[in-house]
């Protein structure tokens, strides 16, 4: 016990700051406390409506004060920013705590990737807690840059910023009692640490078995019915509002007053331009409020519930002994963070960061290693039969699957823009093995050239989609030259790129540079007539073999529903599917 804090709480010594005249959103008592006063010492709340004296006073004149917002599940790498730059974007939005799963960088760099994220986020005015990634590699159907076993996780268990085991994506592995995976779950369960889940569409006995393994949360619900079943079987539900997967509105009918304590909000994957232009957890909170959720309950979902699920002491509420992490605003109807306090310090006001912080340099090795390629590597021979096609869906990471006869030229399957049918490739980039998965995708809306990147969940091999082989080849060569990034190529010309040299996932530049470059991509796609929403982010999920139904990895096409590889070329008896 800190005696100085105890003396201040008892009124025996001066507090550092006393905030008066506020309307406190009391997430613990379930009410709004009018004309409340909050006393702060050494970054902690030491008094609530107590008769304390302080060195400094701040009268809010009737504005609301609520606990800082918490993102319950995020892959910081998906913002394309390093942790310090990420903090600069989300703090002014009212986010004071995030629970990060560094699944992306650990799949590329393994143990070193986890250490990089812990070191790069140390000492920031944003609390970044971590879950240890459970699926490195994510599945046996693609090639990751590393493997992380239960024995590798032991050192992280003793880091105070490591909370538990990250999303268990391989739910078929759980149901099959995969030994390596079960060892990881048992390791954290025995230490009484939370284990996050990832089980899209799982229901019935399979869901019960998945939960029995020790998993306690899920962020993959896409319907209220799915959420209700998972709630009733004991899971915490994270309401996801990302850049591609926007599920929160669909789940609102499940958010009843009786069940509100079991919900949290999360972003999962959100690009930096969306963070700045639309928002972070403040955007999710606005959707809750606009959806008719009681304001106090909305803030419980946005703060308290995550602190309880993850057993994060000292955050999630405004009460003695908790960190003085606050967001101050004028109205529930038009929520905007006007002032943001972190550990008792005013760190942002009216969307502007008040104090800059410099990221310490962190060495990291190159992670893009391709074998010598040629344009011929991207040819796909015709076999006079239907081919399986990935059907991308706008605003969703779930894909469809269909059989079509391809357009054929000179004995090769080629793109057909009239049917929105283009080529897609995944190239193994970690060891230079030369493995290439080949396929076709519909729904990208690309009319010419090729787009690509070294972001492809979850193993983050190089992924490319394009209309012609020369553009695809140029994009692949350019990404290798950049040591990772995003690119749009037409023929032998690079129209636009974004270098991402930090594990092929994150920029080494500031947030403004990344955001402006991503905005340039959006403008270019609009000019080129690309019809899909966020095509680069959509493309990055096409290699995710744990989300139904048809995906592609460096091993080829994967039928996620059956959890098995399938040929690009359909068998004769499958023609009745046409």
Q: Which residue has the higher pLDDT, 576 or 403?
A: 403
The angle formed by the CA atoms of residues 172, 173 and 179, to the nearest 5 degrees, is 160
Contact residues for 425 (Cβ-Cβ < 8 A; gap 6+): 378, 436, 437, 438, 439, 463, 464, 465, 472, 476, 552
What does the alpha-carbon distance between residue 519 and residue 102 come to, in Å, rounded to a whole number? 25
Share of the chain above pLDDT 90, in %: 85
The angle formed by the CA atoms of residues 126, 129 and 131, to the nearest 5 degrees, is 155
What does the alpha-carbon distance between residue 525 and residue 517 come to, in Å, rounded to a whole number? 12
Q: Does residue 496 surpass a pLDDT of 50?
A: yes
Residue 75: HSE in the Cβ half-sphere, 13 Å Cα cutoff: 27
The domain ranges of the chain are 68-314, 375-577
Per-residue pLDDT at 572: 45
At 47-87, the pLDDT tens digits run 999 999 999 999 999 999 999 999 999 999 999 999 999 99
Pairing of strands 462-466, 493-499: unpaired
- Asked if 3 contacts 9 with a C-beta cutoff of 8 angstroms, the reply is no
pLDDT band for position 395 (cuts 50, 70, 90): low
At 185-198, the pLDDT tens digits run 999 999 999 999 99
**Which SS3 state, helix, strand or coil, does residue 24 take?**
strand
pLDDT band for position 303 (cuts 50, 70, 90): very high
At 308-357, the pLDDT tens digits run 999 998 999 999 999 999 999 999 999 999 999 999 999 999 999 998 88
Q: Does residue 249 surpass a pLDDT of 90?
A: yes
Per-residue pLDDT at 577: 45
Kindly list the distances between the CA atom of residue 299 and the CA atoms of 28, 237, 484, 538, in Å, as whole numbers in the listed order: 10, 15, 39, 30
Q: For the beta carbon of residue 577, count every other beta carbon within 10 angstroms.
A: 12
Strand partners, 518: none
What is the residue-wise DSSP string for 317-373?
Answer: S-STTSB--EEEES-STT----EEEETTEEEEETTEESS--PPPP--------PPP-
Average pLDDT, the chain: 94
What does the alpha-carbon distance between residue 461 and residue 542 come to, in Å, rounded to a whole number? 11
pLDDT band for position 290 (cuts 50, 70, 90): very high
Class of domain 68-314: alpha beta
Q: Which of 277, 273, 279, 280 is nearest to 498 (CA)?
A: 273
Most confident of 266-270, 301-305, 353-357, 362-366: 301-305
pLDDT band for position 575 (cuts 50, 70, 90): very low
At 96-126, the pLDDT tens digits run 999 999 999 999 999 999 999 999 999 999 9
**Which SS3 state, helix, strand or coil, does residue 83 take?**
helix
At 409-468, the pLDDT tens digits run 999 999 999 999 999 999 999 999 999 999 999 999 999 999 999 999 889 999 999 999
- Asked if 469 contacts 477 with a C-beta cutoff of 8 angstroms, the reply is no
Q: Does residue 578 surpass a pLDDT of 70?
A: no
Strand partners, 218: 237
Burial of residue 470, with CB atoms counted within 10 A of its CB: 0-12 exposed, 13-18 middle, 19 or more buried: middle
At 527-560, the pLDDT tens digits run 999 988 789 988 999 999 888 899 999 999 999 9
Helices and strands counted in the chain (H then E) = 17, 30
Q: What is the mean pLDDT of residues 209-233?
A: 97
Per-residue pLDDT at 131: 98
């Amino acid at each position: 016990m800190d005696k100085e804090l105890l003396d201040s709480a008892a009124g025996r010594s001066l507090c550092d700051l006393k905030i008066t005249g506020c309307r406190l959103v009391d997430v613990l008592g379930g009410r709004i406390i009018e004309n409340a006063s909050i006393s702060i010492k050494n970054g902690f709340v030491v008094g609530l409506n107590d008769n304390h004296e302080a060195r400094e006073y701040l009268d809010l004149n009737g504005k609301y004060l609520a606990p800082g917002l918490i993102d319950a599940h995020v892959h910081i790498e998906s913002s394309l920013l390093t942790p310090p730059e990420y903090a600069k974007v989300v703090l002014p939005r009212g986010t004071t705590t995030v629970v990060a799963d560094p699944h992306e960088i650990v799949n590329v760099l393994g143990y070193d990737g986890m250490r990089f994220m812990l070191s790069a986020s140390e000492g920031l005015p944003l609390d970044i807690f971590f879950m240890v990634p459970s699926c490195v590699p994510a599945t046996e159907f693609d090639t990751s840059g590393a493997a992380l076993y239960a024995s590798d996780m032991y050192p992280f268990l003793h880091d105070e910023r490591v909370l538990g085991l990250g999303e268990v994506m391989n739910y078929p592995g759980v149901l099959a009692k995969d030994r390596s995976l079960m060892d990881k779950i048992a390791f954290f369960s025995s230490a009484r640490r939370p284990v996050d889940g990832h089980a899209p569409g799982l229901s019935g006995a399979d869901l019960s078995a998945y939960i029995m393994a020790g998993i306690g949360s899920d962020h993959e619900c896409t319907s209220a019915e799915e959420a209700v079943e998972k709630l009733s079987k004991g899971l915490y539900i994270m309401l996801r509002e990302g850049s591609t997967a926007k599920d929160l509105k669909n789940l609102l009918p499940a958010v009843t007053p009786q069940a509100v304590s079991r919900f949290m909000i999360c972003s999962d994957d959100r690009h930096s331009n969306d963070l700045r232009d639309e928002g972070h957890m403040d955007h999710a909170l606005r959707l809750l409020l606009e959806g008719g959720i009681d304001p106090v309950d909305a803030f419980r979902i946005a703060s308290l519930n995550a602190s309880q699920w993850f057993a994060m002491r000292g955050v999630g509420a405004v009460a003695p002994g908790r960190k003085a992490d606050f967001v101050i605003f004028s109205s529930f109807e038009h929520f905007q963070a006007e002032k943001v306090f972190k550990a008792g310090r005013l760190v942002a006001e009216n969307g502007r960061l008040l104090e800059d912080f410099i990221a310490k340099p962190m060495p990291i090795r190159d992670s893009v290693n391709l074998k010598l390629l040629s344009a011929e590597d991207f040819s796909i021979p015709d076999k006079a039969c239907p081919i399986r096609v990935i059907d991308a869906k706008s605003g969703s990471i779930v894909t469809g699957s269909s059989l079509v006869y391809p357009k054929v030229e000179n004995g090769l399957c080629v793109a057909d823009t009239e049917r929105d049918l283009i080529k897609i490739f995944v190239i193994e980039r970690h060891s230079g093995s030369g493995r290439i998965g080949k396929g076709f995708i519909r729904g990208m809306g690309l009319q010419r050239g090729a787009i690509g990147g070294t972001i492809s969940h979850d193993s983050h091999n190089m992924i490319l989609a394009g209309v012609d082989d020369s553009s695809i080849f140029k994009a692949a060569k350019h990404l290798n030259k950049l040591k990772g990034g995003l690119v749009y190529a037409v023929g032998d010309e690079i129209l636009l790129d974004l270098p991402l040299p930090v594990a092929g996932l994150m920029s080494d530049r500031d947030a403004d540079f990344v955001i402006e470059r991503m905005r340039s991509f959006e403008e270019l796609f609009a000019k080129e007539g690309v019809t899909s929403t966020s095509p680069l982010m959509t493309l990055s999920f096409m290699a995710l073999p744990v989300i139904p139904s048809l995906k592609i990895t460096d091993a080829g096409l994967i039928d996620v529903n059956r959890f098995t590889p399938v040929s690009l070329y359909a068998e004769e008896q499958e023609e009745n599917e046409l």
